[in-house]
Structure 1
Amino acid sequence: MTVGHSLRSAARLRVAAVAALSVASLALTSCGSDSDGGGGGGDGEQATTIRIAPQPIADFAPIWLGMEEGFFEDEGLTIELVEGGATSAAQVPLLLSDNADLAATTATAAIQAQSQSMAVTIVGGLTNFAETDETDQSGLVVAEDSSIAGFEDLEGKKVAISGLKSVSEAVISAAVEESGGSADEVEFIQAPMPNLADLVSSGGADAAFLIDPFLSMATSSGLKVLGHPFPLAAPGVPGTSLVGSVSFVKQNPETMEKFASALEKAAAFANENPEKVTAALSEQAKIPLEMLADSKNPTYTAVVDPDALTTLIELLVEYGVLEDSVDADDMLTSTE
């Protein structure tokens, strides 16, 4: 296959991915009755329906699989997936407006919300960032003929990421400094994740940070992986977490205990059945299976470790993503 044909094929796949991801939140249908959702807790009554705002990414697989395998039903719970939260930026507003009880969002988004005195709390984990290059589903890519040989060479270069003032920006900055470079000399630019590889290919950026399936698609189109910043600078910090409104969590402690028990089973099941994760992602996000063939799944966890969360908070503060620090224990304990 010629490079040109390979690039055209990858471009078609990226177009398909953009379309799939843009409609994925609409494709995620609700299940179960909403007659006792939306808060519960009246006169001691516990909610049995939990409205969750998903994201069309592999990180959400424990919820999909937990519903499919009956783990939540076994606890007497019905999970209702609600629309409108297909990106991390949309998640917290859904919680604060009482249009969702829980949301799948980045731990960073929850930290930023907490630092601004918003009434949200982390109630469980979904994924942690990888601890080794071999298990990492993310990475920085550069052109095949790029002179950039290491993170330190990113000084004076443009790095494309999907969100400015994000955990990606902080960790890439930390990786540059860990490698002997100056993070202040890196220029970060923002674009949607499906477009980042094209920026590198066209010369609009010198490097881009990608997560599978976009990472594997980029390498198949001729880009190369420069390195993996998370295992180097922030191994094992929380990635996507389940965040709840403080009011819902306080009003439904027994429900949350049951949910935590089901989530633990679902996370373990997802780790043990990667093929089911891929199938669920393909079905729910409407991404063709062939696009996911070389993608890595994240490692799933039902809990967020306070020490790892503290490490993440400190990193966000150090690199200017977070202006005011917050206490990790306060973020994980809001039902007192």
Structure 2
Amino acid sequence: MRRFTGIGAGMASLLLVAACGSGGSADDSGGADPVTVGVIPIVDVAPVYLGVEQGFFADQGLDVTLESSQGGAAIVPGVVSEEFEFGFSNVTSLLLAGAKGLPLEIVGAGNYSTGEQGDDFSGVVVPEGSDITDASGLSGKTVAVNTLQNIGDTTVRQSVEQAGGNPDEVNFVELPFPEMPGALAEGRVDGAWLVEPFRTIAMNQGGTEIASNLVDTQDNLMISSYFTSKQLRQSDPELVERFTTALNRSLDYAENNPDRAREAILDYTEIDPAVAEEMTLPKWSSEINTGTVERLAELALEDGLVDEKVDTEALLP
């Protein structure tokens, strides 16, 4: 397990601090092309912050500003409207956008499950004293996810089905990740899909992890990706290629230098030191797992998130 160590700051707001890259414009960046990337202030995006810090984007003649948003719901329209040149989102959200005809294209991987049962950065947790011992016990119960009809309930359904339960009997409710540990402790939900650091917080409050839902869904599951608009790909393919080159270098650097990734995360999150010391990092890779995109597209159709299977070829580079 990779762990964070020696991290300061409080827990008043775990995912709070919006941060920027080198910023600016072509006039104050030595002639580099200004690029804005919509990101979410979570552990997953550490590589792109590292890439700015290490100069990987500058090496490609890019002056990058990282614009913090609450989630893909804001980032997707920002990319379509060209407010952002690039954005970060989970794969299912991009598939849903594709189903609506939005002209988007994946340009690079975001982050991956560790692939380790019980040692992933994501899992399903039940509260202290629960008699639920595996995901089959979630049938007929209330389970919190951060967004309904998205990657959370889709992957939790896989855990329930594989454990022998009926996923159609799970009552999913929507809660922000920071509220989930409290909801579990107070008995307001029977289980919750949690990502770090909230997974560790809930378990430190006596919760028990009963499933690694991302691992159950697919080996080597790519959770998220960076994307752009098809308009930008067509109008300035060279800019997209330079960004992708720098991004891939950043992803590989973060994977090979976890201590540097931990330091970068301090710039845009506030995490309690004790929690951070236990927290599991995701896996990062510069490889786009096309099989994941296809798998999540199949599940989106199976779960009724879309009316017909999304054309994954249109979404992939």
TM over 0.5: yes
In structure 1, the partner of 2:268 is 284
Q: Where do 1:21-170 residues align within 5 Å? A: 21=15, 23-25=16-18, 28-35=19-26, 48-83=33-68, 85-133=69-117, 135-170=119-154
Amino acid at match of 2:201: M
> Whole-Å Cα distance in 2 between the matches of residues 130 and 320 of structure 1?
27
In structure 2, the partner of 1:263 is 247
- 8 Å CA contact 2:25, 2:33 repeated in 1: no
CA positional deviation for 1:210: 0.5
> Whole-Å Cα distance in 2 between the matches of residues 175 and 288 of structure 1?
30
Per-residue CA deviation, residues 93-142 of structure 1 (Å, 9 max, x unaligned), is: 11122210101111111111111001211111111233222541111111
CA distance 1:175–1:320, change in 2 (3 Å): same
CA positional deviation for 1:233: 2.5
5+ residue gaps, structure 1, are: 1-15, 37-45
In structure 2, the partner of 1:11 is none
CA positional deviation for 1:154: 0.8
Q: Where do 1:279-318 residues align within 5 Å? A: 279-318=263-302
Report which stretch shifted further, 46-55 or 73-82. Answer: 46-55
Q: 1:79 aligns to what SS in structure 2?
A: strand
Per-residue CA deviation, residues 188-233 of structure 1 (Å, 9 max, x unaligned), is: 1111101111111111111111001111111112111112111122
Identity score, percent: 27
Amino acid at match of 1:60: V
> Whole-Å Cα distance in 2 between the matches of residues 210 and 54 of structure 1?
19
> Whole-Å Cα distance in 1 between the matches of residues 14 and 160 of structure 2?
34
CA positional deviation for 1:282: 1.9
Is residue 180 of structure 2 the alignment partner of residue 196 of structure 1? Answer: yes
TM-score by length of 1: 0.85
Report which stretch shifted further, 86-95 or 164-173. Answer: 86-95
* Aligned-pair Cα RMSD in Å: 2.0
TM-score by length of 2: 0.90
> Whole-Å Cα distance in 2 between the matches of residues 61 and 55 of structure 1?
10
Q: Where do 1:233-244 residues align within 5 Å? A: 233-244=217-228
> Whole-Å Cα distance in 2 between the matches of residues 256 and 327 of structure 1?
22
- 8 Å CA contact 2:184, 2:202 repeated in 1: no
CA positional deviation for 1:144: 2.5
CA positional deviation for 1:65: 0.5
> Whole-Å Cα distance in 2 between the matches of residues 103 and 19 of structure 1?
23
Q: Which has the higher contact order (CA 8 A, sep 6+)?
A: 2
Per-residue CA deviation, residues 22-42 of structure 1 (Å, 9 max, x unaligned), is: x423xx135233348xxxxxx
Report which stretch shifted further, 316-325 or 282-291. Answer: 282-291
Moved over 3 A (4+): 286-291
> Whole-Å Cα distance in 2 between the matches of residues 32 and 176 of structure 1?
45
Larger helix fraction of residues:
1
> Whole-Å Cα distance in 1 between the matches of residues 212 and 290 of structure 2?
24
- 8 Å CA contact 1:106, 1:240 repeated in 2: yes
Tell me how many residue pairs correspond in the alignment: 306
